[in-house]
Structure 1
Amino acid sequence: MSRFIRKAATALETKLDTKPTPAAPSRHESDLEHRTRKARNFEETEAKLPNLRNSPAPDERPTITTNILSYLGSWNPRPHPITSNDTVWLFDNTAYRNPTTNNWEAEVIAAVFDKETGVKVSLVVADIAEKLGLGHGDEAEARIKDRLMPFMRSVLPGRVVNVDFGRRRTQLKLGPGGRNGISSDIRALPQHKDGDIVAGVANVPRGTNGILEMKTVYAEPDGWAIISDVDDTIKITQTGDPIGILRSTFAAEAAPVPGMSLLYDYIQTVVTKSAPWFYLSASPYNLYAFLHEFINEFYPQGTLILRDASWRNLAGLLTSLTQATQEYKVDRMDKIHSWLPRRTMICIGDSTQSDPEAYGEMYRKYPKWIGLILIRRVENIAEVGLEEKNDPSRFEKAFKDVPESVWHVYSDAEECYKYIDKAVSAKARKA
Structure 2
Amino acid sequence: MSVEPATVMASQAKQKFQENKEDKISGASGNFKEFDKECTMPVFANRFRFSFKDNLSSYLGSRNPFYTTVDPKTDVVWLFDNTAYQNNFGRWKAEFVAAYFRKDTGKDTSEIVAWISEKVGLAKGDKAEDTIAERVQPLLDSILPAHSVNIDLAGVSTRLGPSTRDGISSDALTFPGTNYSDKQTLTLKAINADATPSSTIFASPTGWAIISDVDDTIKKTLTADPIGILKTTFVEEPEPIKGMPELYKHMTQALDNPAWFYLSASPYNLYPFLHGFRSLYYPPGTMILREASWMNFAGFFANLNQGTQAYKVDRMRKIHEWLPRRKFICIGDSTQTDPESYGEMYRKHPGWIGAIYIRKVKGVAGMDEEHKNDPDRFRKAFKGVPESVWYVFEDPSELYAKVDALTKS
Give the TM-score, by structure 2 length: 0.92
Note if 1:134 corresponds to 2:122. yes
Match of 1:88 in 2: 77
Q: Distance in 2 between matches of 1:398 and 1:114?
A: 43
Q: Does structure 2 retain, via aligned residues, the 8 Å contact 1:165–1:198? A: no
Match of 2:5 in 1: none
Following superposition, which runs of at least 4 residues in structure 1 exceed 6 angstroms of deviation?
none
Note if 1:144 corresponds to 2:132. yes
Larger radius of gyration: 1
Q: 1:30 aligns with which of 7, 20, 30?
A: 20
Unaligned ranges ≥5, structure 2: 1-15
Q: 2:246 aligns with which of 258, 262, 272?
A: 262
Match of 2:167 in 1: 181
Identity among equivalent pairs (%): 50
Displacement of 1:241: 0.7
Change beyond 3 A, Cα 1:45–1:402: same
Q: Secondary structure at the match of 1:255?
A: coil
Aligned residue identity for 1:104 = W
Change beyond 3 A, Cα 1:133–1:254: same
Cα deviation, 1:98-120, whole Å, max 9, x if unaligned, reads 12x22001000001011122552
Higher relative contact order (CA 8 A, sep 6+): 2
Change beyond 3 A, Cα 1:117–1:46: farther
How many residue pairs were aligned?
390
Unaligned ranges ≥5, structure 1: 1-25, 427-431
Q: Distance in 1 between matches of 2:254 and 2:365?
A: 34
Q: Secondary structure at the match of 2:377?
A: helix
Aligned ranges 1:118-267 → 2 under 5 Å: 118=106, 120-166=108-154, 169-190=155-176, 191=178, 192-205=180-193, 208=194, 210=195, 212-267=196-251
Aligned residue identity for 1:85 = T
Q: 1:114 aligns with which of 90, 99, 102?
A: 102
Give the TM-score, by structure 1 length: 0.87
Q: Secondary structure at the match of 1:425?
A: coil
Aligned residue identity for 1:136 = K
Note if 1:44 corresponds to 2:30. no
Q: Distance in 1 between matches of 2:307 and 2:337?
A: 8
Q: Does structure 1 retain, via aligned residues, the 8 Å contact 2:31–2:366? A: no
Q: Does structure 1 retain, via aligned residues, the 8 Å contact 2:265–2:304? A: yes
Q: Secondary structure at the match of 1:333?
A: helix
Cα deviation, 1:44-71, whole Å, max 9, x if unaligned, reads 22232232243478xxx51122111101
Displacement of 1:312: 4.4
Match of 1:335 in 2: 318
Q: Does structure 2 retain, via aligned residues, the 8 Å contact 1:295–1:301? A: yes
Match of 1:363 in 2: 346
Note if 1:318 corresponds to 2:301. yes
- State the Cα RMSD in Å: 1.6
Match of 1:8 in 2: none
Q: Distance in 1 between matches of 2:338 and 2:21?
A: 15
Q: Secondary structure at the match of 1:72?
A: helix
